[in-house]
Amino acid sequence: MRPCPKQLEIDVANFGWVRKIVLVKLWKWQPENLPSVKHSARTAIAVTASFMVARLFRLPEAYWAVIATLVVMQSTLGATLIISVERIAATALGALVGALLATYFAGNVFAFATAVFAIGIVCIALRMEKTAYRYAGITLAIIVLIPRSNPAWIVALHRFFEVSVGIVVALALAALWPEHQPEAAKQSGE
C-alpha cells in the first residue's frame, strides 16, 4: 500500500478552523434575520390554516400547502407578493409540463432533462426569477419522478392547488397580520 501524497493529508488533531467557524456563527448574526415570538406565532397559525384549507378541499398531499406557506412566511408581504404570483404561475407551468411528460414520456430520463431545460427557457421568456424556475422544476420532478396510482393530470392538478393554497393563505395572513420591520430593513427597500 502506497502512502498518501502530502497534499491529501489532513491533520485531524488540528480542528482550530472548526472552532473559528462556530465562533463566527455564534457572534456574527444579524438581529433582523432572527425569528421572533410574533414571527413564530404568525408562521404557526399560517401553516395550520393552510393545512386545514387543503384538507377542507380534500387535497391528498396537504403537506405541500404547509411547505409553500413556510417558504412564503419567511419574507414580508411586500418582499414576497410579486414572487408569490410567479411561484403560482411557475407551479402551473411545472404541473402542465409534468402531466404531459408523465403521460407521454413516462420513465424517459432524456425527456425529463429536456423538460427541465425547456421550463428554464420559458421562465427566461416570461422574465420569471430563478425562484419561480425552481418551483416549476420541483413541481415537474414531483409529478414525473414519484410513481402514483392516479393519472398524471390529476396529480398535477392536486400539486398546483396544494401549492397555491399554501401561498394564498400565507399572503392573506401576512396582509392581515403584518410583521414589524426594523428600520434598517425598511430603509434598504426589502
Distance between CA atoms of residues 64 and 152, nearest Å: 17
- Among residues of the chain, what percentage have pLDDT more than 70? 76
More confident residue, 81 or 140: 140
Distance between CA atoms of residues 115 and 128, nearest Å: 17
Q: What is the mean pLDDT of residues 162-182?
A: 88
Least confident of 67-76, 83-92, 95-104: 67-76
Distance between CA atoms of residues 115 and 37, nearest Å: 42
Distance between CA atoms of residues 136 and 118, nearest Å: 11
- pLDDT at 1 exceeding the cut of 70: no
Least confident of 11-25, 47-61, 97-111: 11-25
- pLDDT at 150 exceeding the cut of 90: yes
Q: Quick check: 169 and 46 in contact, CB under 8 A?
A: yes
Is the backbone of residue 58 left (phi > 0), alpha (psi -120 to 50) or beta?
left
- Among residues of the chain, what percentage have pLDDT more than 90? 62
Distance between CA atoms of residues 142 and 150, nearest Å: 13
What letter does residue 150 receive in the DSSP assignment? S
Instruction: Identify the band that residue 65 occupies on the pLDDT scale cut at 50, 70 and 90.
Output: very high
Residue 178 phi/psi, 5-degree rounding, is -65, 150
- pLDDT at 2 exceeding the cut of 70: no
- pLDDT at 167 exceeding the cut of 90: yes
Residue given cell 412566511 in the structure block: 73
